[in-house]
Amino acid sequence: MQLSQMSVFRGQIVHDSGKFPHMIPFVKRGKRSAREVYQPPGGESIGARASAMRSAFVRSLIPNVPPSERELADAFSLLKLDADDLRCVYCGDPSTEWDHFFPVMRKGRPTGYLTRIQNLVPACGKCNQSKGNRDWKDWMTSAAPLSPTTRGVSKLSQRIRRLQAFEAWGAEAVVDFETVLGSDAMKQHNDYLRQILSLMNEAEAHSKALRTALLDELPYVIQEKKLSLWTRFWRLVFGGR
């Protein structure tokens, strides 16, 4: 074995080239046990999708209001945005998405803020995830993980002033869904959600029972397969039927 052809680190083997595929790799024992690093992919749970479903029911109500040219120009001007080099308004990194400046949902309920240019700002993934549903200014000046303050971004007070001007420009835009759509329509919408969640609960209980049954059966099923493989091996080595 030519150890010079490979590097070994914590039980991992990296071949320098594919020249020696026939070699049996030498595995050095690291400090971690096999048990520690064994992480099977998580089983899918139907119940775990419940919060995503609640969120979808709120977000599905929120229309996407197309901005006029004037509104777009005003927003870009207030936020000092450059369409050729769009940057995150919170930290200045390249923008990867548009963030709802005020969250459209809180505690499973619509806040009344909408998807419109007055409530959308370009952001980077780090800021968007770190901000979550928090108030933008509290978050920017907080020590939350990955907040602009935590990351020590430059010109923080200038960025906050721009965002305050943007907030003042679009601040009044809140809609009470129940007043506009009527309580019957909203009740119907919420009933659909309740029915789906209830059905998801039933399906979850059923799938859990099936999973347990399958696990109980496995020793027998797997034993059979092992015997069959062994028989094939026996025949291969010693021949016969």
Q: List residues near Zn ion by CB under 5 A.
A: 88, 90-91, 93, 124, 127
- Residue 160 CB, nearest approach to Zn ion (Å): 13
Instruction: Return the residue matching tokens 């000046």.
Output: 141
Q: Which residue, 41, 45, 6, is CA-closest to 27?
A: 6
Which residues make beta-bridge pairs with 8? 13
18/73 Cα distance (integer angstroms): 57
| CB nearer Zn ion, residue 120 or residue 124 | 124
- Residue 168 CB, nearest approach to Zn ion (Å): 22
Distance from chain centroid for Cα 25: 37
- Residue 142 CB, nearest approach to Zn ion (Å): 14
69-78 vs 156-170: helix axis angle to the nearest 10?
150
- Residue 87 CB, nearest approach to Zn ion (Å): 8
| CB nearer Zn ion, residue 91 or residue 120 | 91
| CB nearer Zn ion, residue 46 or residue 156 | 156
Q: Are 25 and 6 in contact (CB under 8 A)?
A: yes
- Residue 123 CB, nearest approach to Zn ion (Å): 6
One-letter amino acid of 91: C
Q: Are 16 and 6 in contact (CB under 8 A)?
A: yes
| CB nearer Zn ion, residue 62 or residue 127 | 127
| CB nearer Zn ion, residue 112 or residue 125 | 125
- Residue 27 CB, nearest approach to Zn ion (Å): 43
- The backbone torsions φ and ψ at residue 193, rounded to the nearest 5 degrees and listed phi first, read -60, -45
| CB nearer Zn ion, residue 12 or residue 129 | 129
Q: Are 104 and 59 in contact (CB under 8 A)?
A: yes
